[in-house]
Amino acid sequence: MSVPLGMPQPREAGGSGSAVQVPPSADPARPSAMPAGLFDRYGRRATDMRLSLTDKCNLRCTYCMPAEGLEWLAKQAVMTAEEIVRIVRIGVDLLGVRELRLTGGEPLVRADLIDIIAALRQAHPELPISMTTNGVGLDKKAAALKTAGLSRINVSLDSLHEETFAQLTRRPFLDRVLAGVDAAWAAGLGPVKLNAVLMRGINDAESPALLAWALDRRYELRFIEQMPLDADHGWTRQNMITAAEIRELLSADYVLSPDSRARDGAPAERFEVRRRVAGSADASGPVLGTVGIIASVTEPFCSDCRRTRITAEGKIMSCLFSREEFDLLGMLRDGASDEQLAGRWQDAMWVKPKAHGMDHVGLGAADFVQPDRSMSAIGG
Ligand code: SAM
Ligand code: SF4
């Protein structure tokens, strides 16, 4: 099939072995005859579902939430455990979702978290189910999460210094997070991935030490470029730490070489890490582990994006930066059938933007507008 230049190649609709494909299209209306699957106009297919369990959080990370918090959703507005299980089932059974990440807000603050995971696991014995958490309280719940059927965990950790951690999160909880990370590892929720956002003048200089700490313990550290998704609207393109700077910062101690494993739609570009011979460009010794860099702003991976997002109140977002949301939960509560809900989900994904345009902001172009929702209200 010929594909216009610059368009991503469509992927197979029915998983491996299927010959069904959806070609790129300029038409914003979804064709009536479509194979099952979450396709968009540019030939991408979403198979990786990010589902937010709550908008609430017990930290106030400066790059995400304001100090005073946000106006939380009313309890009735948030998806119940049963609604979550149904939506995931539609995603997996009717629309080809292959992977689920639970997020928030902070998923650990949800009282029925363990029950939700157990129900999801019972419905989908083989589905990879991971969770992104700030780690506060994880030490007490890690074993139960594993027993309930959680496959793996990502913990956010921006600093190993109490003061810096408290400055970034506005809470003095570093010890609790570190206990949570260790408990997750001990409970068998590995590989444990750590997410770190670097902020200029606050924790950027700590990046090689953070990597050393993670490598020692065999945790997979990923640095995430700060995105304009803070509720305070304090992000600037000039002030964010870019992926190029992160590589430069790490090169003081390490030599990074691209990991040969296929990226396969993953947001993080992975590098193998070896120690740098002091004062030289050469590496010495064995590969110590890997580090990931998620360069959403400066090296975007939109053309290979496989994500579909459901907010805590059951809205479909095709992209973190979508300005359009599609209400799935309201329709479900109004009695829609699984097929009707799947159709709406497909409509929502069909109009997924081609790219977010973040790297233009502050650099002379004005086509990027920060979304109204901040990261915690979307589900990062
Ligand atoms: N509360 C959980 C946590 O912090 O891990 C899960 C939700 S949080 C929104 C998910 C991830 O988004 C975290 O790793 C966090 O560091 C990241 N994040 C939040 N705001 C961000 C921003 N403005 N730019 C980049 N990453 C951000
Ligand atoms: Fe909470 Fe996570 Fe946002 Fe930090 S990044 S405020 S832990 S939702």
The full set of domain ranges for the chain reads 13-378
373 alpha carbon – ligand 1 mean position (Å):
13
Average pLDDT per 10 consecutive residues for the chain, totaling 380 residues: 30 37 68 83 95 97 94 96 98 97 97 98 98 98 98 98 98 98 97 97 97 97 94 88 96 93 85 92 92 92 93 95 91 98 96 79 57 82
Give the distance (Å) from ligand 1 centre to CA of residue 250: 22
Q: How far apart are the first and last CA of the chain?
A: 35
Instruction: Give the Cα separation of 64 and 57 in Å (integer).
Output: 11
Question: How many alpha carbons lie under 13 Å from residue 110 in its C-beta half-sphere?
Answer: 26
Distance CA 307, CA 348 (A): 12
Instruction: Provide the pLDDT for residue 27.
Output: 67
Q: State which ligand 1 atom lies nearest to the alpha carbon of 378.
A: 9
State both tokens at 319: 């992209």
User: What is the spatial distance between Cα 125 and Cα 134, in angstroms, rounded to a whole number?
Assistant: 26
C-beta 106 within 6 A of ligand 2: yes
Instruction: Give the Cα separation of 241 and 226 in Å (integer).
Output: 7
Contact 38, 46 (CB under 8 A): yes
Q: How far is the CA of 28 from the centre of ligand 1 (A)?
A: 31
CA of 89 to the centre of ligand 2 (A): 27
Ligand 2 within 6 A of 138 CB? no
Name residue 365's beta-bridge partners. Answer: 361
The whole-number pLDDT of residue 162 equals 98
Q: Distances in Å between the alpha carbon of 282 and those of 3, 31, 176, 207, 274? A: 42, 55, 38, 20, 9
39 in Cβ contact with 13 (< 8 Å): yes
Distance from the alpha carbon of residue 166 to the mean position of ligand 2, in angstroms: 13
Q: Is 358 helix (H, G, I), strand (E, B) or coil?
A: helix
| Element at 284 (helix H, strand E) | strand 283-294
pLDDT given for residue 281 in this prediction = 85
Nearest CA to ligand 1 atom 8: 380
Say if strands 269-276 and 283-294 run parallel, antiparallel, or are unpaired. antiparallel
Cα–Cα distance measured from residue 5 to residue 290, given in angstroms and rounded to the nearest whole number? 33
Q: Which pair of structure tokens corresponds to residue 252?
A: 């003081």
Task: Report residue 174 as tokens.
Answer: 């570093």
3-state helix vs strand vs coil in the chain, percent to 5: 30, 20, 50
Backbone angles phi, psi at 289, to 5 degrees: 155, -160
Architecture of domain 13-378: Alpha-Beta Barrel (3.20)
Side chain identity at residue 292, one-letter code: G
CB environment 75-102: b (16+ within 10 A), e (fewer):
eeebbebeebbbbbbbbbebbbbebbbb
pLDDT for residue 152: 98
Among 53, 64, 226, name the best residue to mutate to test ligand 2's pocket (greatest count of ligand atoms within 8 A of Cβ).
64
pLDDT value at residue 360 = 60
What is the position in ligand 2's atom list of the atom closest to the CA of 134? Answer: 7
- Nearest in space to 117 (alpha carbons), one of 106, 101, 105, 133: 101
Protein residue whose Cα sits closest to atom 15 of ligand 1: 156
Structure tokens at 158: 């921006």
Task: In whole angstroms, give the CA distance from residue 56 to residue 77.
Answer: 13
Q: How far is the CA of 60 from the centre of ligand 2 (A)?
A: 6
Tell me, using a 6 A CB cutoff, whether residue 148 lines ligand 2.
no
